[in-house]
Amino acid sequence: MLNYIIRRSLLIIPNVILLTALLFWSVTALLGSPAAMMLGEDASPQALAELNSVYGFDRSVFEQYLSWVWSALQGDFGRSFATQERVIEAILPRIPASIELAGLAILLAMFGATVLNSIPHAKGVLTTFNTVLSVIGITVPNFMLGISLIYVFSVTLGWLPTSGWVYWSVDPIKHIMHLILPVVTLSAFYFGSFTLVYRAEYKVIYRQLFVKVARAKGLSESRISFKHILPNSILPVITYIGLSLGQLTGGAVVTETVFSVPGIGRLFVQSISSHDFPVMLAIGMIIIVGVIFMNLLADILYTVVNPQIRLE
C-alpha cells in the first residue's frame, strides 16, 4: 500500500509540469499580448514595449514559464493587473467557499445515489423517483437548473435566498440557507451519473454467490444490501468521482456565477472578463494541482472502502 502511494505521488510531478506548461502557454500565447490587452488597441508601440519590459512579456514563453513556476513555488503568483492586489491574497479567502460547495455537492450526490438505491422493500417508488431525478440532473445544464430552482424556491415560494453568501461565522442559519440551492444545483448532474453507475454495479453484485449465502443464513435484506452489496457496488462510484473532478470544477464555476458565491470559480470568470492573466494562471494552477491530488485520494479510498482489494 505504501509503495503504491509513493509511486502514484511521484507520477504527480510530471503531470503537474505538463499541465501547468499547457496552461501557461494557452493563456500567454493563445489569448494574445497581455500588454495590448492591458493598454488597449490604441496603445503606442513605445508604451507596449515599456510594459512588456516591466512585466517580462518580451522574454520567451519558456523563460516566462520557468520564472512563473519558481515564483509560484514560493507562494508568489504576482499581482493582479486589474486591482494591483497580490494574487494569493485575492484567492485564499475564496478557496473555503469553493471547497465547501464542491465537497458538499459530491457528498450529497454520492450519499443520495448509493443509499437511495440500496433501500429494499420500496424499489418501485424509489426507482421511479431516482430515475426522474437522474434524468433531470444529467440532461438539464447547471445554469438552467440553477435559474429554475431560484424561480421556484426563491421567487415563487420565497423559501430560500436568490443568491449571495453569508459566512458561517456571521450567521450559521443564513449560511446554510444560502448553501442549499447551489449545492443541489451542483450535485444534480453527479447524482444522476452516480445513480447509473451504482445501479449497474448493484445488479451485478446482487447476483453474486456471497449474497445468496448471506440470504441463506437468514440475514435481513437491509443488512445484506447495506453491509454486503453497498461496499462492493460503491467502488465504481469512487472511481467515477476521481474521473469527474475536472467536470466538477467547471460546474462549480457556473454555479458560483449563477448564485454569486464568492469562490475561486467566480473570481476566475471575473479574471477572464478583465484579462487578468496572473489571477487566471494562479487559479488554473490551483485547480490542476487540486484535481490531481483528489484523484490520488480517490485511488487510495478505493482500497480503503473494500479491504479485499490489494495493490502491489
Task: Output the CA angle 261-237-242, nearest 5 degrees.
Answer: 60
| Cα of 262 vs its chain's centroid, Å | 15
Flag whether pLDDT at 116 surpasses 50: yes
> In the beta sheet, which residues pair with residue 79?
86
If you average pLDDT over residues 103-112, what whole number do you get? 90
Q: Is 79 helix (H, G, I), strand (E, B) or coil?
A: strand
Residue identified by cell 438552467 is 144
Provide the pLDDT for residue 124: 67
The conformational region for residue 219 under phi > 0 = left, psi -120 to 50 = alpha, else beta, is beta
What's the pLDDT tens digit per position in 37-96?
Answer: 666 666 677 777 777 777 677 777 788 888 888 888 888 888 887 788 888 888 988 988
For the chain, what are the domain ranges? 2-94, 96-262+293-305
| CATH architecture, domain 96-262+293-305 | Orthogonal Bundle (1.10)
| CA-CA-CA-CA dihedral for 201, 235, 291, 91, to nearest 10 | 100
What's the pLDDT tens digit per position in 164-223?
Answer: 888 888 889 999 999 999 999 999 888 988 888 888 888 888 888 888 888 888 888 888
Provide the pLDDT for residue 173: 92
Flag whether pLDDT at 22 surpasses 70: yes
What's the pLDDT tens digit per position in 226-235?
Answer: 888 888 888 7
Flag whether pLDDT at 1 surpasses 60: yes
Determine phi and psi for 79, rounding to 5 degrees: -120, 145
